[in-house]
A and B are shown apart, each in its own frame.
Chain A
Amino acid sequence: MRNSRPRVLIVDDEPDILLMLRVNLEAEGYSTLLAGDGETALRRIAEERPDLVLLDVMMPVVDGWGVLERLALMDPRPRVILLTAKASTRDLSKARELGADEYVTKPFDPDALLGTIEKVLRSRPAERDRPSIQPVYLSDEL
């Protein structure tokens, strides 16, 4: 169990989508941060270190890909779920290459997204939280 509520940064240039996601996430006990463009998103990530970023791809100034590229240089890096209206295989592989954890196409069911968020937050805790657990565990097995 985590001592504090996981903090999620929602990045989308459409206020209506921000509202809908914020209400759903807060109802499920997440703490939310909002950003309307890539530039703001990068600033908030640097300042407030969210656990997860819900990142829209198509945005003005710095788009989702731009944010993802700059996040690669960041340590520790928050987990990222890409939200996109495009669903080509090329985009999917690009997302994986740039280190996105999940890729969700619009329109989506908020409940399904909540499931994905939970899965992503559980599956890959930041390495820094428990640096030596896995090697020890593995050696015991053997």
Chain B
Amino acid sequence: MTTPSLEAVERRRIQMWTVMFLVLVGLSAAVIVASFWTEALPGQIRNFASMPVLRVCLLAVTIAFCVYVYEKERMLRKVTRALVDERVLNAALTNRVTELATLSEVAQAINSVLTTREVLGKILQSALSLLHASGGRIMLIDRERNLLRSVCELSADGSAVDGPDEVALGEGIPGWVAHHRDPILLHRDGADGMFSRLVPPGSPACSAMCVALINRGELLGVLYVSSLDEAQSFTEYDLRALQLFAENAAVAISNARLFEAERAHVTKLQEVDAQRQEFVATVSHELRSPLTSIVGSVRTLRKRGQAMASDQADEFLTVIERQSNRLLQLIDDILFASRIEAGENRLRGEPLEVVRLVDEVVSSFNARDHRRRVCLVAPPHSNSMAAIGDPNGLQQVLTNLVDNALKYAPGDTPVTVSLAEAGDEIAITVSDLGPGIPKADLPHIFERFRQAHGNSGATPGVGLGLYITANLVAGMGGRIWVRSEVNQGTAFTFTLPMRTAPARTGTGSLPPVGASTVRGA
């Protein structure tokens, strides 16, 4: 059965009233005629009309007809009302379908290959068109600066969206929502006066809504929309719809972050892998160099040893010994570096007589080579200087730095080790007047295998020396940095916490600007 249309019902009603009008007119005429002009009627009819029974009958029929028409009208009204209701319902349903379609589009966008920015743009665009909003923005929370930052904004007519791009937590509508996490719907003339409290006086907005973006309990940001048109003020129903958009936006943002984290992880793994390959190539190269000398010297001695002067044979033995030690040192360094990476590098934290330990290292260098002098510069009261650290660690750090300085600086220039107190630390500086380190290399100097990258084998070693040194310093709670000028010289400074001061754990003050640094981890 088909439902009658509103128009058909209306037509029936007009027909009914017309019929009723005609019938009433007819009846009335009959009654009037019967009552007043009975003489004019022919005899038989006159007799019939003058009968009282007929008058009563006519009156009864008229009343019955009126009652019928009244009932009919009541029914028709009911039908009309139902039809109007249905029409309204239909309109609402159509609206819901549009909404669902929009939301499903949004959900599809989240799962598509679009970038986060595109997905957020799509969500915002759908929200604006469905809610007939003038403008809106998605703001994400910046934990470091403790504020909300607009990452995506859109307006219906291309004009600027009301409100600032950045807002502190607790400030304005977005700040309020981020702080309370509750959705908010405000009208300019709202009775609670909240609008005028949260929105700056000059704002063109008439009504505004804002919802927090929350994923698994974590606040990510807010979704804000506003309407500049009084006629398009938002309703509670609109707020519900905006919440659905916000849920989708939160999922999109979380997905994007997960994806970013995953991608960063993969990149990191690729880097590690590339580094490992580079390491194998470098190590194989570094093993081949000393082996060339060792193999060559052994074969030479075997073939020509008899014919050789004894001091020359001795020289070859020295070469073999030196290069074997170099191989051993290389293997030790590699093992040490891998221990550092595995987190097995345990250093003691005991009171150190800094001056005595430093002096031991400097003296051993001076005893080894009488032509090169390493000078020790210490303040007068330095004998009382006491630091916390590992005695072997300190000596290895100093040995590495002095060794480097002697290796790079020309033979006739001095290498100086100086001691100083700096706040609650003791600073030890090793300086040379060598060729210096190019500015571009400074930030990477403490990285693993660094020398091997930049320096195409200018000096022997796999580039582990400074990496190990920096890690030893960090392990003792100190800091290390370098200052260098090309053709002027280089100064490495490392610190150890003073005995009176609590041991540092890497939160020390920043070193001088422009210097490359490694701090305790």
Residues of A whose CB lies within 8 Å of any CB of B are 13-14, 16-17, 19-21, 23-24, 27, 58-61, 63, 85-86, 105-111
Distance to closest chain B CB from A59 (angstroms): 7
Whether the pair B300, A24 counts as a contact (CB closer than 8 A) is yes
Which one of B291, B304, B315 lies within 8 Å of A107 (CB-CB)? B291
Query: Are A111 and B297 touching (Cβ within 8 A)?
Result: no
Residues facing A in B11-46 (CB within 8 A) are: none
B179 within 8 Å of A (CB atoms):
no
Chain B nearest Cβ from A3, distance in angstroms: 26
A86 pairs with B296, CB closer than 8 A? no
User: Please, which residues of chain A bring their CB within 8 A of the CB of B316?
Assistant: 19-20, 23
Q: Chain A contacts of B319 at CB under 8 A?
A: 16, 19-20
* Whole-angstrom distance between the Cβ of A67 and the nearest chain B Cβ: 13
Contact at B295–A13, with CB atoms within 8 Å?
no
Over the window 363-398 of chain B, the binary record of Cβ atoms lying under 8 Å from chain A Cβ atoms (1 yes, 0 no) is 000000000000000000000000000000000000
* CB-defined contacts of B456 to chain A, threshold 8 Å: 58-60, 63
Contact between B293 and A14, CB atoms less than 8 A apart: yes
Assuming A16-B319, A20-B316, is B457 touching A58 (CB within 8 A)?
yes
Which of B288, B296, B307: most chain A CB closer than 10 A?
Answer: B296
- Across the interface, which residues of B come within 8 angstroms of A59, CB to CB? 456-458
User: A23 near B304 (CB under 8 angstroms)?
Assistant: yes
Q: A23, B291: Cβ atoms under 8 Å?
A: no
List residues of chain A with CB within 8 A of the CB of B458: 13, 59-61
Contact of B288 among A16, A60, A106 (CB under 8 A): A106
Is the CB–CB distance between B297 and A20 below 8 Å?
yes
Inter-chain contacts of A107 with B (CB < 8 A): 288, 291-292, 294-296
Q: Closest residue of chain B to A83, judged by CB?
A: B292
Specify which chain B residues have a CB less than 8 angstroms from the CB of A19 in the assembled complex. Answer: 315-316, 319
Return chain A residues, CB-CB under 8 Å to B295. Answer: 107-109
Contact partners of B312 in chain A: CB under 8 A? 23
A59 to B281, CA, bound (A): 17
B300 touches A20 (CB 8 A): yes
Q: Is residue B487 contacting chain A, with contact meaning CB distance below 8 A? A: no
Determine whether the beta carbon of A13 is less than 8 Å from that of B300: no
Contact B296 A60 (CB under 8 A): no
* Nearest CB on B from A50, distance (A): 21
Expressed in whole angstroms, the minimum distance between the Cβ of B10 and any Cβ of chain A is 91
B296 in contact with A17 (CB, 8 Å): yes
Contact A16 B322, beta carbon cutoff 8 Å: yes
| Known contacts A20-B316, A60-B457; A111/B299 CB under 8 A | yes
Known contacts A23-B312, A63-B456; 6 further A-B pairs (Cβ under 8 A): A14-B289, A107-B288, A108-B292, A108-B295, A109-B295, A110-B296
CB-CB < 8 A to A16: which residues of B? 293, 297, 319, 322-323
Residues of A within 8 A of B297 (CB): 16, 20
Question: Distance (Å) between the CB of A42 and the closest chain B CB?
Answer: 17
| Chain B residues numbered 451-472 whose CB sits less than 8 Å from any CB in chain A | 455-460
Which residue of A23, A106, A108 contacts B300 across the interface (Cβ within 8 Å)? Answer: A23
Q: How far is the CA of A108 from the CA of B297 in the complex (A)?
A: 11
* Interface presence of B303 (CB below 8 A): yes
In angstroms, Cα B312 to Cα A19, docked, is 10
**Which residue of chain A lies nearest to B291 when distances are taken between CB atoms in the complex?**
A107
Bound Cα distance A20, B295 (Å):
10
Cβ–Cβ contact A108 & B296, under 8 A: yes
Contact A110 B300 (CB under 8 A): yes
Query: Is B300's CB under 8 angstroms from A86's CB?
Result: no
Cα distance, A33 to B275, chains bound together (Å)? 39
Tell me how far the C-beta of A34 lies from the nearest C-beta in chain B, rounded to whole angstroms: 15
Q: Does B74 contact A (CB under 8 A)?
A: no
- Are A106 and B455 neighbours in the complex by a CB distance under 8 Å? no
Cα of A4 to Cα of B434 in the assembled complex, Å? 42
A110 touches B293 (CB 8 A): no
In Å, the complex CA distance between A110 and B302 comes to 11
Query: A58 to chain B: which residues have CB within 8 Å?
Result: 285, 456-457
Question: Are B293 and A17 touching (Cβ within 8 A)?
Answer: yes
A105 CA to B289 CA, complexed, in Å: 10
Q: How far is the CB of A95 from chain B (nearest CB, A)?
A: 16
Task: From A13, A17, A59, A105, name the one whose CB has the most chain B CB atoms within 10 angstroms.
Answer: A17
- CB neighbours of B284 from chain A (8 A): 85
How many whole Å from B484's CB to the nearest CB in chain A?
A: 17
In the bound complex, residues from chain B placing their C-beta under 8 Å from that of A108 are: 292, 295-296
Chain A residues with CB below 8 A from B315, complex form: 19
CA distance A21 to B456 in the complex (A): 22
Query: With the chains together, A16 CA to B312 CA distance in Å?
Result: 12
Once the chains are docked, how many angstroms separate the CA of A111 from the CA of B289? 18
**B280 CB, nearest partner CB in chain A, Å:** 12
What are the 3 closest A-B residue pairs judged by CB atoms, nearest first? A60-B458, A58-B457, A85-B288
CA distance A110 to B269 in the complex (A): 42
What are 5 contact pairs spanning A and B, CB under 8 A?
Answer: A17-B289, A23-B304, A23-B316, A27-B307, A109-B299
Most buried by A among B292, B295, B308, B456: B292
Residue of B nearest to A23 (CB): B300
A141 to chain B, nearest CB (A): 42
CB distance from A78 to the nearest CB of B (A): 22
Docked pose: A121 CA to B451 CA in angstroms: 37
Q: Is the CB–CB distance between B303 and A111 below 8 Å? A: yes
Among A16, A85, A106, A110, max chain B CB count under 10 A is at A16
Flag if B296 contacts A21 (CB, 8 Å): yes
Specify which chain B residues have a CB less than 8 angstroms from the CB of A13 in the assembled complex: 457-458
How many Å lie between the Cα of A21 and that of B284 in the bound state?
Answer: 22
Q: Which residues of A lie under 8 Å from residue B292 when comparing CB positions?
A: 14, 17, 85, 106-108
Among B289, B303, B323, residue most surrounded by chain A Cβ atoms (within 10 Å): B289
A86–B281 alpha-carbon span in the complex (Å): 8
Contact call A85/B296, Cβ cutoff below 8 A: no
Residues of chain B with a CB closer than 8 A to A85's CB: 284-285, 288-289, 292
Cα A59 to Cα B308 in complex, Å, equals 30
B455 — nearest CB in chain A belongs to which residue? A60
Residues in B220-269 with C-beta less than 8 Å from chain A: none
